[in-house]
Structure 1
Amino acid sequence: MDRLRQRADFLAVANGARVNSPAFVLQSRPRDDSGPIRIGFTVTKKNGNAPERNRIRRRLRELVKRLEPVLMQPHHDYVLVGRRDALSRPFATMLDDLRIAFSKPARHTAKEQSKGRGQRPGTAPAASRKTD
């Protein structure tokens, strides 16, 4: 298992599927190559100061180390986005949450859900609206 380190990889995974949990958000994206599973960790500044964010990140890394690799799909990239609850949530509970997140069918982002859909019901195309 490799680590994601480049911003472009994190942004690509952010457009993929996601599963929410109280302590983290798991984002995933299938890749076209035959490389190993890659995983990245991120915690935003709104979750606290640097020591708190680092503690959240360390807890997330330890979760992944203790997780059975069989749960992860091959040829995928994953990103764990830490939340503030990761500081106070029991570690065993977070590990169960992560197992559940990997086993759940992922929900796609709003961007992906809106692709391919027509206009919203009840709205007319912009060209046919009257401009009086």
Structure 2
Amino acid sequence: MTPPKAQGDDSNVTTRPPSAVSSCAKSSGLMPETLRQRADFLRAASARRQAAQGFLLQGRARGDDSSDMRVGFTCSKKIGNAVARNRAKRRLREIARAILPTLGHAGWDYVLVGRPKVTIDRDFAALLQDLETALAQLHAPRKPRK
């Protein structure tokens, strides 16, 4: 079977639909850049932390005059096998995709750390609310230490 000919042209050129990658939220600028270097994760771990019921949020202001926000995700083997860890990270990526573009601060690095059983089993709407609350508390002014 031969493909249909293009109109107005006698060539056998067919047009392909756009690939699924081009419609991804990251390419459209909605998802912050992803942290990949271990050093970036370690710097975020040594900065401010905010516990939420479904995960732990770590965040730091980079101070490099960059306007882009970066986010990383991590789940230890305490979460479970690879399937469970990947499911937890997918859930964390989705809440970050939904909340960080509106409530995250430019020039900040965020790391979401999954918690055993809770990250996978918690209701998705509750995870969204957890991230909103954690971001508000992370960016709230701190009281000076004595």
Q: Aligned residue for 1:101? A: 134
Which whole-Å CA distance do the structure 1 matches of 2:61 and 2:49 have between them?
12
In the alignment, structure 1 residue 92 sits paired with structure 2 residue 125: yes
Partner SS state of residue 28, structure 1 = strand
In the alignment, structure 1 residue 8 sits paired with structure 2 residue 50: no
Name segments (4+ residues, structure 1) moved above 2 Å: none
Could you list the runs of 5+ residues in structure 2 that have no partner in the other structure? 1-31
Q: Aligned residue for 1:129? A: none
Q: Aligned residue for 1:41? A: 73
Q: Number of residue pairs matched?
A: 109
Higher-RCO chain (CA-CA 8 Å, sequence separation at least 6): 1
Q: Aligned residue for 2:61? A: 30
Give the CA RMSD over aligned residues.
1.7
Query: What TM-score results when the alignment is normalised by the length of structure 2?
Result: 0.70
Please point out which of 59, 70, 73 is paired with 2:105. 73
Contact 1:17-1:106 within 8 A present in 2 as well: no
- Give the structure with the larger helix fraction: 1
Cα 1:17/1:106, change in 2 over 3 Å:
farther
Deviations 1:102-123 (A, max 9, x none): 111469xxxxx7xxx8xxxxxx
Which whole-Å CA distance do the structure 1 matches of 2:89 and 2:65 have between them?
27
Could you list the runs of 5+ residues in structure 1 that have no partner in the other structure? 108-112, 118-132
Partner SS state of residue 58, structure 2 = strand
Q: CA deviation at 1:70?
A: 2.7
Cα 1:42/1:94, change in 2 over 3 Å:
same
**Percent of aligned pairs with the same amino acid:** 45
Q: CA deviation at 1:6?
A: 0.3
- Give the structure with the larger strand fraction: 1
Larger radius of gyration: 2
Query: What TM-score results when the alignment is normalised by the length of structure 1?
Result: 0.77
